[in-house]
Structure 1
Amino acid sequence: MVDSTFIDVLTLGMWQANCYVVGDLERGAAFVIDPGQGGDGPVQQVLADRGVTCEAILLTHGHLDHLWAVPELVRELDVEVRMHHDDRWLWDSPAAAFGAPPEMLRAQFDLDWDPPTDHLATFGDDQVMTLAGMRVLTRHTPGHTPGSSVFLTDDVDGDPVLISGDLIFAGSVGRTDFPRGSWEEQARSIHRVVLPLADATRIVSGHGPETTVGTERRTNPFVAEIIRDLGVP
């Protein structure tokens, strides 16, 4: 029997951020993760091509390269947006990620930020959501931002998948030099959430190519440093 689930990646904008459309063809349903700059049209095209309806937009964190297209998509799709409550400050003013005032977005990016707060919901750690018939577990992984979070599901094509945002990449990890970032917190987050996962777990991250937990355990120099400092989980 052919599995009807899918995960499609769109690499968007000047920061080349990965946006994911995750869905089930049989159910005709999907959810979207991190629609960044220029994501409105491409996301809607994937939904149309796949013949699925979006049930929600999830955000791994509140940086602009991961939420730029949210206002347009929410207006057009009339769906809820979900993010961790500790990144609400970035929802209110994405320019704060640069340590800048709100007017910076208009001056530098020609962007008038008008967030659809009436459609915003927040989540915490270890919260289970059911979207497109899939069980999606949220894990709070602070470090890149205070509210950075990842999503785990075993329901895409039968494989365990970690949608990691900017927590961990193929061969690297997310930056922690932005306002309210913390390498110490990020290291603990990777140690607590990523390293206990099975080696076969797919990692689809906020930037760059797909990898696996096992590959990063063996080859990622930042992971080696975390294991050296914090031990094998």
Structure 2
Amino acid sequence: MSDAPTTYTGAVKPGGPADVRELGRLTVTKVAVDAQMSNNCYLLRCRSTGEQLLIDAAAEPETLLPLIGDELATVVTTHQHWDHHRALAEVVAATGAATLAGEPDAAAITEATGVPVSRPLSHGDTLTVGDCTLEVIALRGHTPGSVALVYRDPEGTPHLWTGDSLFPGGPGRTIVPEDFTSLMADLEARVFGPLPDDTWFYPGHGNDSTLGVERPSLGEWRARGW
């Protein structure tokens, strides 16, 4: 496998350096922004074409734009919450990147940022970063239009970006029981069901994990209701 070098940990802090993971065909750069919220932003770069995609322009364009450099094709906003798109307008203005988000959240993102969503996303859609393909997984509950992205590495394990829908230790925050039930159902049917234990996932805040580490706790999460 040409999976991650052992030096990648995914443990980043606002104001600290980015962490870089070199897959066979894709480079993943993880950086944390905003000392209060500590949002993770992920820059994906196709190693053969150089095309780039950013997951969540959360804050600090002064941090994100030097990482991006001259060209950015796409920004995906994982969900409508304010802390995940505060730098969207500045990043798009500087790069001309296309903006993608889950269809049920698109209007709220545009209202908050002034940036039109150029492509609303639905469950099962695909998008590309150069020669690499990402699949869209809709995870309804944290917000109506939350999306995750999965890259099925042909040379290694799957990689999954979950926004605020899945963290080490449990699902994302929900307000009412119906939303928790919806999110858990989608996580079980669309994430833990089809994807293997060695799937590495990257959340919107904090450290990474694998589905295998979290899978034994699914029953506990359902029982506690959060």
TM range (shorter): 0.7 to 0.9
Structure 1, unpaired ranges of 5+: 95-112
SS of the aligned residue for 1:43 comes to: helix
* Higher deviation after alignment, 78-87 or 8-17: 8-17
Q: Alpha-carbon deviations, 1:7-55, whole Å to 9, x = none?
A: 11111112111110011233121100011121x122222223xxx7311
SS of the aligned residue for 2:91 comes to: helix
**Aligned twin of 1:177:** 175
Correspondence for 2:73 among 45, 55, 78? 55
Matches within 5 A, 1:15-94: 15-38=37-60, 40-48=61-69, 53-94=71-112
Please report how far the alpha carbon of residue 81 of structure 1 lies from its aligned counterpart in structure 2 after TM superposition.
0.4
SS of the aligned residue for 1:15 comes to: coil
Distance 1:75 1:181, change over 3 A: farther
Higher share of residues assigned helix: 1
The TM-score with structure 2 as length reference comes to: 0.81
Indicate the percent of aligned positions where both proteins have the same amino acid. Answer: 22
**Aligned twin of 1:102:** none
Q: Alpha-carbon deviations, 1:158-192, whole Å to 9, x = none?
A: 331011111110112211128x9811111111111
**Aligned twin of 1:194:** 191
AA in 1 matched with 2:214: E
Please report how far the alpha carbon of residue 227 of structure 1 lies from its aligned counterpart in structure 2 after TM superposition.
6.6
Matches within 5 A, 1:200-211: 200-211=198-209
Matches of 2:155 and 2:144, distance apart in 1: 31
Matches of 1:4 and 1:217, distance apart in 2: 28
Q: Does the alignment pair 1:6 with 2:4?
A: no
- How many residues in Structure 1 have an aligned counterpart in Structure 2? 201
- Rg comparison, structure with higher value: 1
AA in 1 matched with 2:187: I
Structure 2, unpaired ranges of 5+: 3-22
**Aligned twin of 1:110:** none
Please report how far the alpha carbon of residue 195 of structure 1 lies from its aligned counterpart in structure 2 after TM superposition.
1.1
AA in 1 matched with 2:118: L
SS of the aligned residue for 1:11 comes to: strand
Q: Alpha-carbon deviations, 1:191-215, whole Å to 9, x = none?
A: 1112111000001111111100000
- Cα RMSD over matched residues? 2.4
C-alpha contact 1:145 1:181 (8 A) present in aligned 2: no
C-alpha contact 2:53 2:72 (8 A) present in aligned 1: yes
Correspondence for 2:153 among 132, 135, 155? 155
C-alpha contact 1:21 1:33 (8 A) present in aligned 2: yes
